[in-house]
Amino acid sequence: MIEFAHTFLLIFGQLAVGGIAALSVPSFHAIERGFFKSTACVYLGCGLAIFLGKLYLVFFLRPETIPLARGVEVGAWFLFCVCCGLYSYTLWGDPFVLRARAYVATLLSGVVALTISANTYRHTPFLAVETVLYPLTFFTASLMLGAVATGMSLGHWYLIELGLSLEPFKRVFTFYVGTVIIHLGVLLVGTGLLLLAGREETVASVHSLWTNHRTLLWLRLGLGPLASLPLAYMIWRTLQIPQTMAATGLFYIAILAAVVGEFLGRFLLFRTALPL
């Protein structure tokens, strides 16, 4: 059951890293600073959730058996939280150079932490296709979660800052659509590559996925990225009116689709060790 908890904590980390990446999409000077302060603090909270959760699971729940990989993973998420905390702090002032460096450090440390987390589920040698596909799948899912969460947060800001240009909202929306398409492509193409070029144990897991978890796989795709595509079209149509309040409401539904899809993906990861 500890591995089950480890697996589902990943969603907090993915949301934190993807959210920080998505904050670079709207122009920093086009929106009032309060949007970046509040949203960055939410992503910092997600980072703290995965760090504290894994810290408890690794060092407090079973301190007599601490796997090296899990210890390194906890350290990586701690570094991300430190960098993210520093970046959030700089938003309350004007240390431009420090803010830029803190943001880059936050993003890089987040990518490293996601890569380490992904590799804890890879049971193949380093020179294998899984070494690339596992972190890539984690990262594209992270970008999708961050994009939809940032879109929802930005939509609320239009209720506060009246007269704000639609350009930032449209940029975040375009980023969101791109991440959904890319993530769906990585899931489909990546699974095919694992089947064709993966190690023997990975191929066996793919066969087990199709034999024993086929319904769960279809639910993961149908309630996640596939459901996000028509929602994205509806958001686009509302922005043509334009009606930011309706678009924000649709982003609420879109984030539910993204999160439900990722929860199902993490359950498949727990059952099959495949990055879905």
Q: What is the pLDDT of residues 28-54, one digit of tens each?
A: 888 888 899 999 999 999 999 999 998
Q: Give the global pTM.
A: 0.92
- Candidates 26, 124, 131, 16; CA nearest to 76 is 16
Cβ pair 47, 77 in contact under 8 A? yes
In the numeric block, which tokens belong to residue 48? 């703290």
Q: What is the pLDDT of residues 98-125, one digit of tens each?
A: 999 999 999 999 999 999 998 888 777 7
Q: What is the pLDDT of residues 251-272, one digit of tens each?
A: 999 999 999 999 998 888 888 8
For 160-173, what is the mean pLDDT? 87
Q: What is the pLDDT of residues 68-95, one digit of tens each?
A: 778 899 999 999 999 999 999 999 988 8
Cβ pair 236, 230 in contact under 8 A? no
Higher pLDDT, 138 or 198: 138
Domain ranges of the chain: 2-272
> CA distances (Å), 100 to each of 104, 119, 259, in order?
6, 29, 30
> In percent, how much of the chain has pLDDT > 70?
96
Say which CATH topology domain 2-272 has: Formate dehydrogenase/DMSO reductase fold (1.20.1630)
Amino acid in the structure at residue 162: L
In the numeric block, which tokens belong to residue 157? 């800001």
Q: What is the 8-class DSSP label of residue 56? A: I
Residue partners of 189: CB distance under 8 A and separation at least 6: none
Alpha helices (H) along 121-275: 130-160, 167-197, 200-212, 214-222, 225-240, 244-272
For 144-148, what is the mean pLDDT? 94
- Report the mean per-residue pLDDT for the chain: 87
For 166-188, what is the mean pLDDT? 92
